[in-house]
Structure 1
């Protein structure tokens, strides 16, 4: 079993962040105070910390001719869960920064990927690999 990952990130509105991560992405809420909120996002611990202002995104990087937002974070899911999440987000009317698509179709490293933004503009990438053993290949 892969150990869970922890990420703390800044947000300006904890209520909007809770709604997005819990109601839209399906995360389970964890411990919270007036200043921060933990989430279980597919087994990983995210900690949203309230700040006065979120730093602007740094840039984008070209990946296979597509501008990918930098920084970003996300989760690698199983293919069926990735498809379900993409459908859930479409049904909720969440705009995609990069729509769900498949890279390297039929090749080594075949993967599905899409990007969305949370209420504070953090870019999130959700991926799935046809063959889990090719994540780092």
Structure 2
């Protein structure tokens, strides 16, 4: 296939190696600690221009810079590791999903913040920069939260939210039938 050898991954790069299903094993949820606050996530995203990304993530959002190279940059993303990898010509295609009346960009990177951190972060951003301005979602429901969305300069969608009741972040309930 032509796409496997010269698509967005670049000319001459081999296609990604996928694991064989026979080698996959099920991990017991009992062995995972999803609510362990010492567990941090690492997410890597493509950006079209690393210097512009540095200005946005380090300047506009005020994230602390970590390791850096000519083609990528680490950030402290509220205790998690965000890595911006420069991909010349990167241009994401985003779709939308309706969530409580909001046109939510999918895919997106989301972060759940304390009310104080949410207020501090959202106050740093100009009102016209928001894709979905900070507002209360699911008002009066179990999952009530402040939320907002914006795009970074490369078109990556970012969501920031703050739960009214932190216990509801992982609560199991059917949103459509609350």
Structure 1 residue 83: Cα displacement: 1.3
Relative to structure 1, the CA distance from residue 6 to residue 94 in structure 2 (aligned partners, 3 Å threshold; closer, same or farther) is farther
Aligned partner of 2:107 in structure 1 is 71
CA distance in 2, matches of 1:9, 1:79: 26
User: What SS does the aligned partner of 2:58 have?
Assistant: helix
Which structure has more RCO (C-alpha within 8 Å, separation ≥ 6)? 1
**Any idea what the Cα deviations from partners look like across 1:38-73, whole Å, max 9, x if unmatched?**
111101101111112224223111112321111110
Out of 140, 143, 158, the position equivalent to 1:106 is 140
Which stretches in structure 2 are left out of the alignment for 5+ residues? 1-36, 172-178
> Which structure has the bigger radius of gyration?
2
CA distance in 2, matches of 1:29, 1:127: 22
Out of 50, 55, 63, the position equivalent to 1:14 is 50
CA distance in 1, matches of 2:91, 2:56: 19
Aligned partner of 1:40 in structure 2 is 76
Instruction: Provide the TM-score with structure 1 as the length reference.
Output: 0.91
User: What SS does the aligned partner of 1:89 have?
Assistant: coil
Q: Which runs of 4+ in 1 moved over 4 A?
A: none
Residues 91 and 154 of structure 2 are in contact (CA less than 8 Å); yes or no, is this contact kept in structure 1? no
Which stretches in structure 1 are left out of the alignment for 5+ residues? none
Instruction: Provide the TM-score with structure 2 as the length reference.
Output: 0.71
Structure 1 residue 16: Cα displacement: 0.7
How many residues align? The count is 135
Across the aligned residues of Structure 1 and Structure 2, the Cα RMSD in angstroms comes to 1.4
Structure 1 residue 2: Cα displacement: 4.4
Question: More strand per residue: 1 or 2?
Answer: 1
Aligned partner of 1:96 in structure 2 is 130
CA distance in 2, matches of 1:58, 1:116: 13
